[in-house]
Structures are given as structure tokens and as C-alpha cells.
Amino acid sequence: MPAAPLVMPSGTGVASSAPAPLDINSQIQAVFQTRQLILDELTALDDQRKDLARTTVLSYSSDVAAKGVDPAKAVVARDAWQAKDTLFVSQQSALKDLLTLVEARIEEFKRTNKGEVSVVLRDQIAFLSDDLTHQEKAEHLTERQLKVLWNELREVDPGYLATIAKESSLRLPAAKKSVARARKQPAK
């Protein structure tokens, strides 16, 4: 259950439920951050919907394979999937509606507060660039670690590497033939 909004005295003797105003820089940061968080959540919800469909099909298929088709169980499986899927769709719809409002506010800030928007964008770019640098360093360290381990494996078990190379070389021609056949077939 969400927390109730704080009631702030307005100074006129009448209570106001409006939050204390943020400085313009904080407002701009919040709106840009909100946009990104909504976009991330929309992607996550889409993945959850796909996973729900996959999981439902696999679960139902396993049950049918083991026990045969039971129409009553089909109704239960469908209804359970549909209820969860409807919730995901509703959440996606609400987030998309709010994203439209957020985008409009961003456009307004770009028109009316270009300097402040520029500062916020530069700060976000610097933060993400720094984060990417850290990720690249970690990736480089992982690649070095893998190289050391592969070299040690080569020393200890050279036959294993030969097996891997042979298997991949056998799969490569088959994959090339598959791609060539796909290219020759007309699009449906």
C-alpha cells in the first residue's frame, strides 16, 4: 500500500497536499531519470510477458504430455495466464501514458530551460561514461583471466581444446549451408 502524501501547511491556514517545490535542476533531473526508469521498466515488463507465455506453454505441455488433455485444466491454465498477462498489459499501458506526459515535460524544459537541461544532460553523460569505463575495465580483466585459464587448460588437457575446435568446425559448414538455404528461400 503506497504511503499517503505528506500534508504540508500552506501558510494560509489551509493544508496543502502539494510537495515542497524542488529547484529547477532537481526537477529536470527527476524528469529525465523518470523517463529512463519507465523505459527500463517497459522493457522488463515485456520480457516478463514473454517469459510468462513461455512458462505457461511449457508447464501446460508437460502436464498434457504426462496426463493427457483435460479441458478443465486448460481453462485454469488459460485463466491464470490471462490474468497475469492482463496485469502486465495494464501496467505497460499506464507506464506508456505516463511516459507521454514525461516526454511532454522534457520538451517543455528543453524550450524554457535550455541551460539547466544542458547541465543535467552533461552530468548524466559524464556519469554513464564513467560507468561504461568501469564496465570496460572489468570486461578487460575478465578477458585476461579467461586467456590465462585457456592457456592453463591447453597445458593440462590439449585434447579437450582439439575436441572443441573439431566440433565448432563441424558446426560451421552446417551453419553456412543453413544460412545459404534461408537466403535462397523467398520471404513469406
DSSP notation for the chain:
-PPPPPPEE-SSSSEE-SPPPPPHHHHHHHHHHHHHHHHHHHHHHHHHHHHHHHHHHHHHHHHHHHH---HHHHHHHHHHHHHHHHHHHHHHHHHHHHHHHHHHHHHHHHHH-HHHHHHHHHHHHHHHHHHHHHHHHHHHHHHHHHHHHHHHHHHH-HHHHHHHHHHHHHHHHHHHHHHHHHHHSPP-
What local confidence, expressed as pLDDT, does residue 93 receive? Answer: 98
Q: Which domain holds residue 158?
A: 129-179
153-185 per-position pLDDT tens digit: 888 988 887 888 777 766 655 555 655 665 565
55-66 per-position pLDDT tens digit: 999 999 999 999
Is the same domain home to 95 and 163? no
What local confidence, expressed as pLDDT, does residue 167 receive? Answer: 76
Is the same domain home to 43 and 103? yes
Is the same domain home to 76 and 32? yes
Q: Which residues of the chain are under the pLDDT cut of 70?
A: 1-21, 169-188
Structural contact between residues 117 and 29, judged by C-beta atoms closer than 8 angstroms: no
Is the same domain home to 105 and 143? no
What local confidence, expressed as pLDDT, does residue 172 receive? Answer: 59
Is the same domain home to 170 and 142? yes
What local confidence, expressed as pLDDT, does residue 18 receive? Answer: 56
Percent of the chain with pLDDT over 90: 68
Q: pTM for the whole thing?
A: 0.63
What local confidence, expressed as pLDDT, does residue 14 receive? Answer: 46
Is the same domain home to 37 and 103? yes
